[in-house]
RNA sequence: CGGAGCGUAGCGUAGCCCGGUUAUCGCGCCAGAUUUGGGAUCUGGAGGUCGCAAGUUCGAAUCUUGCCGCUCCGACCA
């Protein structure tokens, strides 16, 4: 590609709106431009990278037997009401104003509709169906350039199996394909156990790239044998245990004490583990007749721990939400800050506590009366029907239960998600098949996604320096940045043109900076910013001695080589181009 | 949705607090000249509904109110 005939609007200055590295560099290198919040135009260079990723994804999906579709972006409201997601998604789904339709944020419903009509026999299962195209999500807060947007390209795949064992196989195939994809894209990635989210389902694994710009928190061991999203991570914490002094509980005045920290200061103690923190949750249950009832839950953890809402959701279901501040006095008798397990106003509140508090005594907690707490609470003696679960959020520095392996907390970007969906959509939308015995069964489904732009941004997060992006491997937009220092000098122009043709014929993808009236420094800066793995520089002085310059982008190393050695040298570096 | 900040030429900005000539500067752009190995120099030039609307005022980029948009933090996030 001749630069003079291409379109790469590079920018020297850092754009005002960009904070995150990959965002800044994608704009500066002329890959993307923002149209409005969370909506980006893909410029030729960016589009080229995305397409490289798409091709890798396509190859790996095909290799596990995936078949490619292209489904509509528009779909009728009705379909989403049937699956129940019209409500669940709420504002996150784009709704058309002049037609009863939505812009699909994902395609379970539509793929399932096709499965319902056509996968009627166990003989037609299993199937892996996928597509690579645009998704629309009305994100409340798009951020960090292309990392979280309202319109993006996603590879979404769905597996259809006759039983759970079949799903396991389909799931493993995807896990394998995903590892190949991310490896080929040159990412340093890992996978974590994940929360399987609103649709129920069993196993779920997220593929992560560690990056400061990430929105997810993960806990991992240094040897990466364990990694987990913080939403589900389990770690060991010494139980609080019993002191058995058998002190009776007593209420005491704690004026204006709202937080655990304030309470600790007030009591002049530093160990907050016995200051039991109470959080109140409302679990909205839908009854058979469609009416709704509220279940109330009080969750206790150590004062220096946090309640993990994802873990609670697993225990109680999707209707769970934190109680609003206005509801608290009605449920407990006090405002946030004075709530505890003893003397709750509503006698039907279910009390649960984290395992670390199992049978603990001499606890301090709110008295369910503003500005009062209670000390010497013995959960075994004083709280009836208490149940213990793992409901705390694991923390940096803690160990994996039963080992001495330490967990480190890190920020990460989720680049892919594989997920055993189960029966939710097949049952809701009526996708059943007949088994060998002529019996009707719901199809067992899996769902698998990869965000294309997010993957590119993740790569850039991991591969950049103060001069720009550093591309290497299969997703580099081109292989070689050929720079003719001054095309106005005939000898260099003739030589560069010839080199461009020859290298092209050898299968190299070349970005050829043939621009006239651009000073050399400008071309070099552009080359480093765009960041192709190898730069070949043709200048008058060197060429007069039969030499050209060869530069490696990552290390900045330059070699002055005889022109006829270029082909051999390039061959030595073919791994930089993702050549086998 | 809550909190904070911002909106002046394609990009980055000064001016705003304390209202008053022709709205500042740099990059980029156009023309010419000189230049050509790390984002050139000089000369000349084009480019603006100061986000929008209403208000206060003799007079508003500047003050007030409302709206819109964007960014960041948080909430949310199959």
Question: A521 and A446: one domain?
Answer: no
Asked if residue A209 belongs to a domain, the reply is yes
- In angstroms, rounded to a whole number, what is the distance separating the alpha carbons of residues A274 and A521? 65
Instruction: State phi, psi for A5 to the nearest 5 degrees.
Output: -110, 5
* DSSP one-letter code for A122: G
The Cα angle at residue A308 between residues A201 and A87, in degrees rounded to 5:
50
Residue A229: pLDDT over 90: no
3-state SS of A293-326?
Answer: EEEEEEEEECCCCCECHHHHHHHHCCCEEECCCC
**A50's tokens:** 């995305």
List Cα–Cα distances, A148 to A43, A52, A143, A269, A338, in angstroms: 18, 20, 5, 43, 38
Tell which of A360, A389, A418 closes a domain. Answer: A389
Q: Are A50 and A30 in contact (CB under 8 A)?
A: no
List bases in chain B with any atom under 7 Å of a protein Cβ: 1-2, 11-13, 26-27, 35-40, 69-78
Q: Which of residues 465-524 of A touch strand B (CB under 7 A)?
A: 467, 485-486, 488, 517, 519-522, 524
- In angstroms, rounded to a whole number, what is the distance separating the alpha carbons of residues A122 and A436? 7
Q: Is A495 helix (H, G, I), strand (E, B) or coil?
A: helix
Sequence length of chain A is 580
* DSSP one-letter code for A443: P
Pick from A1-15, A267-281, A430-444: least confident: A267-281
CA of A142 to C1' of B73 (A): 13
Please give the pLDDT value at position A135: 93
Is the minimum distance from the CB of A555 to strand B below 7 Å? no
- In angstroms, rounded to a whole number, what is the distance separating the alpha carbons of residues A206 and A216? 10
CATH number of the domain enclosing A486: 3.40.50.800
Q: Taking residues A46-75, what's their average pLDDT?
A: 95
- In angstroms, rounded to a whole number, what is the distance separating the alpha carbons of residues A513 and A6? 10
Residue A345: pLDDT over 90: no
Percent of chain A with pLDDT over 90: 44
Residue A271: pLDDT over 70: yes
Cα torsion A13, A16, A19, A20 to 10°: value is -60
Asked if residue A238 belongs to a domain, the reply is no
Is the minimum distance from the CB of A174 to strand B below 7 Å? no
Residue A195: pLDDT over 80: no
Please give the pLDDT value at position A13: 81
Pick from A101-110, A244-253, A281-290, A367-376: least confident: A281-290
**A202's tokens:** 């069993």
Question: A85 and A186: one domain?
Answer: yes
Residue A90: pLDDT over 80: no
Is the minimum distance from the CB of A526 to strand B below 7 Å? yes
Q: Is A348 helix (H, G, I), strand (E, B) or coil?
A: coil
**A576's tokens:** 């930089």
Q: Are A235 and A394 in contact (CB under 8 A)?
A: yes
CA A318, A133, A94, A159 torsion: positive or negative? negative
- In angstroms, rounded to a whole number, what is the distance separating the alpha carbons of residues A135 and A513? 35
The Cα angle at residue A575 between residues A572 and A576, in degrees rounded to 5:
100
Which of A142-151, A219-228, A325-334, A342-351 is the most confident on average? A142-151
Q: Which nucleotide is nearest to A421 (CA to C1')?
A: B78
**Nearest residue to A360 via CA among A262, A244, A446:** A244
Q: Is A468 helix (H, G, I), strand (E, B) or coil?
A: strand
Q: Which of residues 311-330 of A touch strand B (CB under 7 A)?
A: 322
Asked if residue A136 belongs to a domain, the reply is yes
Residue A568: pLDDT over 90: yes
**A440's tokens:** 């009707």
Please give the pLDDT value at position A567: 93
Q: Are A535 and A550 in contact (CB under 8 A)?
A: yes
Residue A492: pLDDT over 80: yes
- In angstroms, rounded to a whole number, what is the distance separating the alpha carbons of residues A431 and A422? 12
CA of A16 to C1' of B8 (A): 15
Q: Are A312 and A391 in contact (CB under 8 A)?
A: yes
Question: A221 and A73: one domain?
Answer: yes
Is the minimum distance from the CB of A25 to strand B below 7 Å? no
CB within 8 A of A7, min separation 6: which ones? A30, A43, A44
Query: What string of DSSP letters covers A123-168?
Result: GG--EEEEEEEEEE---SS-BTGGGB-SEEEEEEEEEEESSHHHHH
Please give the pLDDT value at position A201: 60
Burial of residue A223, with CB atoms counted within 10 A of its CB: 0-12 exposed, 13-18 middle, 19 or more buried? exposed
The pLDDT tens digits for A91-140 are: 788 888 888 888 999 999 999 999 988 998 999 999 999 999 999 998 88
List Cα–Cα distances, A162 to A172, A351, A433, in angstroms: 16, 40, 8
Q: Taking residues A470-481, what's their average pLDDT?
A: 95
- In angstroms, rounded to a whole number, what is the distance separating the alpha carbons of residues A333 and A346? 8
- Range A289-294, long-range pairs (CB < 8 A, 24+ positions): none
Question: A269 and A321: one domain?
Answer: yes
CATH number of the domain enclosing A156: 3.30.930.10
Residue A555: pLDDT over 70: yes
Asked if residue A313 belongs to a domain, the reply is yes
Q: Which residue has the tokens 């000073």?
A: A519
Q: Taking residues A485-505, what's their average pLDDT?
A: 92
**Nearest residue to A24 via CA among A478, A466, A416:** A466
Average pLDDT for chain A: 88
Asked if residue A58 belongs to a domain, the reply is yes
Please give the pLDDT value at position A196: 60
- In angstroms, rounded to a whole number, what is the distance separating the alpha carbons of residues A237 and A231? 17
**A155's tokens:** 């590879």
Asked if residue A353 belongs to a domain, the reply is yes
Residue A185: pLDDT over 90: yes
- Bridging pattern class, strands A127-136 and A67-69: parallel
CA A267, A270, A275, A279 torsion: positive or negative? positive
Q: Which residues partner with A422 through β-bridges?
A: A445
Please give the pLDDT value at position A200: 52
Query: Cα(first)–Cα(last) distance of chain A, in Å?
Result: 23
Tell which of A361, A389, A417 closes a domain. Answer: A389
The pLDDT tens digits for A137-161 are: 988 888 888 999 999 999 999 999 9
Asked if residue A396 belongs to a domain, the reply is no
Question: A108 and A188: one domain?
Answer: yes
CA of A519 to C1' of B35 (A): 9
Q: How many domains does the structure of chain A reveal?
A: 3
H/E stretch holding A429 reads helix A424-429
Q: Are A339 and A369 in contact (CB under 8 A)?
A: no
- In angstroms, rounded to a whole number, what is the distance separating the alpha carbons of residues A549 and A562? 9
CATH number of the domain enclosing A362: 3.90.960.10
Report ipTM (2 d.p.). 0.88
Question: A212 and A111: one domain?
Answer: yes
Question: A212 and A313: one domain?
Answer: no
Q: Which nucleotide is nearest to A18 (CA to C1')?
A: B71
Question: A256 and A356: one domain?
Answer: yes
Please give the pLDDT value at position A64: 96
Tell which of A331, A357, A389 closes a domain. Answer: A389
Pick from A37-46, A195-204, A245-254, A444-453: least confident: A195-204
The pLDDT tens digits for A199-220 are: 556 778 889 888 888 888 888 8
CA of A38 to C1' of B31 (A): 40
CA of A33 to C1' of B48 (A): 23
Q: The domain containing residue A454 runs over which residues?
A: 33-232+409-460
Is the minimum distance from the CB of A19 to strand B below 7 Å? yes
Q: Are A376 and A362 in contact (CB under 8 A)?
A: yes
Residue A578 CB: number of other CB atoms within 10 A?
18
Q: Which nucleotide is nearest to A518 (CA to C1')?
A: B36
Question: A86 and A182: one domain?
Answer: yes
Asked if residue A53 belongs to a domain, the reply is yes
Instruction: State phi, psi for A196 to the nearest 5 degrees.
Output: -85, 0
**A461's tokens:** 């997060």
- In angstroms, rounded to a whole number, what is the distance separating the alpha carbons of residues A10 and A564? 32
Q: Which nucleotide is nearest to A485 (CA to C1')?
A: B37
Question: A51 and A170: one domain?
Answer: yes
CA of A8 to C1' of B6 (A): 28
Q: Which nucleotide is nearest to A547 (CA to C1')?
A: B37
Q: Which of residues 36-65 of A touch strand B (CB under 7 A)?
A: 36-38
Q: Which nucleotide is nearest to A529 (CA to C1')?
A: B39
Question: A385 and A426: one domain?
Answer: no
Count Cα atoms within 13 angstroms, Cβ side, for A327. Answer: 13
Question: A88 and A114: one domain?
Answer: yes
Pick from A65-74, A207-216, A539-548: least confident: A207-216
Is the minimum distance from the CB of A84 to strand B below 7 Å? no
- In angstroms, rounded to a whole number, what is the distance separating the alpha carbons of residues A281 and A327? 10
């Amino acid at each position: 590609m001749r630069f003079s005939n291409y379109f790469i609007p590079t920018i020297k200055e850092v754009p005002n709106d960009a904070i995150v590295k990959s965002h800044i560099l994608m704009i500066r290198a002329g890959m993307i431009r923002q149209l409005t919040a969370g909506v980006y135009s893909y410029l030729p260079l960016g589009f080229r990278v995305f397409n490289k990723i798409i091709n890798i994804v396509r190859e790996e999906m095909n290799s596990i037997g995936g078949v490619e579709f292209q489904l509509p972006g528009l779909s009728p409201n009705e379909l989403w009401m049937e699956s129940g997601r019209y409500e669940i998604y709420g504002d996150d789904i784009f709704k058309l104003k002049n037609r009863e339709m939505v812009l699909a944020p994902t395609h379970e419903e539509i793929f399932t509709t096709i499965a319902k009509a056509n996968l009627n026999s166990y003989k037609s299962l299993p199937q892996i169906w996928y597509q690579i195209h645009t998704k629309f999500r009305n994100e409340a807060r798009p951020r960090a350039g292309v990392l979280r947007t309202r319109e993006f390209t996603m590879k979404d795949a769905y597996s259809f199996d006759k039983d759970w064992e079949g799903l396991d196989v389909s799931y493993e195939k995807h896990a394998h394909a995903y590892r190949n994809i991310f490896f080929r894209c040159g990412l340093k990635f890992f996978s974590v156990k994940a929360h399987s989210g609103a649709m129920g389902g069993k196993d779920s694994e997220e593929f992560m790239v560690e990056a400061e710009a990430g929105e997810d928190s993960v806990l991992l061991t240094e040897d990466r044998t364990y990694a987990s999203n913080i939403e589900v991570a389990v770690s060991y914490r010494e139980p609080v245990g019993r002191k058995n002094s058998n002190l009776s509980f007593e209420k005491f005045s704690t004026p204006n004490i709202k937080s655990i920290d304030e309470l600790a200061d007030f009591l002049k103690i530093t160990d907050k583990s016995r200051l039991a923190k109470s959080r109140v949750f409302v679990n909205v249950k839908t009854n058979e007749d469609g009416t709704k009832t509220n279940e109330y839950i009080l969750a206790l953890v150590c004062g220096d721990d946090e309640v993990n809402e994802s873990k609670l959701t697993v225990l109680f279901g999707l209707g769970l939400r934190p109680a609003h501040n206005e509801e608290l006095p009605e449920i407990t008798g006090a405002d946030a800050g004075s709530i505890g397990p003893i003397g709750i106003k509503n006698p039907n509140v279910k009390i649960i506590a984290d395992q670390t508090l199992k049978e603990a005594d001499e606890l301090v907690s709110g008295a369910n009366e503003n500005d009062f707490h209670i000390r010497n609470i013995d959960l075994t003696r004083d709280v009836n029907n208490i149940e213990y679960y793992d409901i705390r959020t694991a923390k940096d520095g803690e160990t994996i239960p039963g080992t001495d392996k330490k967990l480190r907390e890190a920020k990460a970007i989720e680049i892919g998600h594989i997920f055993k969906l189960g029966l939710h959509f097949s049952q809701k939308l009526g996708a059943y098949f007949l088994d060998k015995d002529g019996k009707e069964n719901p199809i067992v489904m899996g769902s698998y996604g990869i965000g294309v732009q997010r993957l590119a941004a993740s790569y850039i997060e991991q591969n950049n320096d103060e001069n720009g992006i550093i591309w290497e491997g299969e997703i580099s937009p081109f292989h070689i940045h050929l720079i003719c220092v001054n095309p106005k000098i005939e000898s260099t122009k003739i030589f560069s043109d010839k080199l461009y043709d020859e290298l092209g014929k050898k299968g190299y993808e070349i970005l050829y900076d043939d621009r006239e009236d651009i000073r050399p420094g400008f071309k070099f800066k552009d080359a480093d910013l765009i960041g192709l793995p190898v730069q070949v520089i043709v200048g008058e002085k060197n060429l007069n001695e039969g030499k050209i310059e060869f530069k490696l982008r990552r290390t900045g190393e330059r070699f002055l080589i005889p022109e006829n050695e270029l082909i051999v040298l390039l061959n030595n570096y073919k791994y930089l181009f993702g050549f086998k």
